[in-house]
Amino acid sequence: MTLKKIATLAIAATVVTTSLFSAELQGRGASFPGPLYKAWIADYNAKTGEKVNYTPTGSGDGIKSIQKRMVDFAGSDKPLKAKKIKKDKLYMFPAVVGSIVLSYNIPGVKDGELKLSEKAIAGIFSGATQYWDDATITAVNPDLKLPHEKITVAVRADKSGTTYNFTYYLSKLDDKAFKASKKPKWKANIVAGKSNSGVSATIQQTKYSIGYIEYSYKQKLNLPAAQVENKEGQYILPTLASFQDAAKYATWTPDNDFYALIAYPDGKTSYPIVAATFILLPAEKEDTNKAVTKFIDYAYTNGDKIATDLGYVALPKETKDMVRKYWEAKGIK
């Protein structure tokens, strides 16, 4: 075989390898929507043959990865403000709405039996309330036998959009003790786990613990979760119906790339800790972006039942149409 033929075959092999690699979209970031993205991807692949890979590494890693152009798209539960979007040359739009539940491991206390007031939640996560039989907790749980055991608070070890949304909610309860942050300095008696799955495992393995996780992880692992006092003073169970009631209060606009923090909504029947999760795209990669929006458009059209079955709230049709127009305006549809 001549050197010319060898070179030609080598070039051809490189082209084929590159083509195969580029055919599989690579995404990473927020673990909050991880179970849903996995299900959407499986359905999309089964119906279209197109390949998408998403690794739930946390919102902080997702943002960092898209800034460095290490992936085709990123997931983040922390929305980026317009100034940051412009600086990093990104596009951003919402994918779905989810919820954050307070899951606990208290022997003898079943799912939904524990009620937590705003005062109790702020006390637990600030470290002011240290024992399960503290008056701030027992006051609204007269029928429960809560032990004199120290509370272990399970939190995220990584930079997390779930944490950002949860601390944003906490800041509404006590703005002196809490500020919205992807990785705050906790003053409570904490144990940290990486991603939603890590915090869930920590709660499972640690008696007398409590932590914040995305609802689908609670469902998948059959973990108990508390009734939470909402803005109107009502104690609300984490259910799809109460999440949907909360999501109605979300407002979106393409003018700021759909930036919105929707935790702590109005409404007597609204669950108080909800959050949207977002997709981030690099503005300069038009062809790859079209492949990503094709996948998301498929999920918008065919994935509502999958989202509902996993405990997420699908975006309203009006919001999806708004996002589609945003894609068209950016030339990525």
Q: What domains are there in the chain, each with its CATH number?
A: 3-97+251-261+276-330 (3.40.190.10), 100-247 (3.40.190.10)
Q: Positive or negative, the Cα torsion across 244, 74, 100, 82?
A: negative
CA-nearest of 131, 137, 147, 135 to 114 is 137
The DSSP-derived string for 247-308 is: HTT----GGGTT-----S---TT--S-EEEEEEEEETT-HHHHHHHHHHHHHHHHH-HHHHH
Q: Report the distance separating Cα 279 and Cα 36, nearest Å.
A: 13
Q: Report the distance separating Cα 28 and Cα 135, nearest Å.
A: 43
Q: What is the pLDDT along the chain (333 residues), one digit of tens a residue?
A: 443 443 444 444 433 333 333 469 999 999 999 999 999 999 999 999 999 999 999 999 999 999 999 999 999 999 999 999 999 999 999 999 999 999 999 999 999 999 999 999 999 999 999 999 999 999 999 999 999 999 999 999 999 999 999 999 999 999 999 999 999 999 999 999 999 999 999 999 999 999 999 999 999 999 999 999 999 999 999 999 999 999 999 989 999 999 999 999 999 999 999 999 999 999 999 999 999 999 999 999 999 999 999 999 999 999 999 999 999 999 999
Strands annotated E in the chain: 24-29, 51-56, 73-76, 90-105, 115-116, 152-156, 190-193, 209-214, 227-229, 235-236, 274-282
Instruction: Indicate the SS3 state at residue 175.
Output: coil
To the question of pTM greater than 0.85 for the whole model, the response is yes
Q: Report the distance separating Cα 29 and Cα 22, nearest Å.
A: 19
* Helix (H) or strand (E) run with residue 117 in it: none
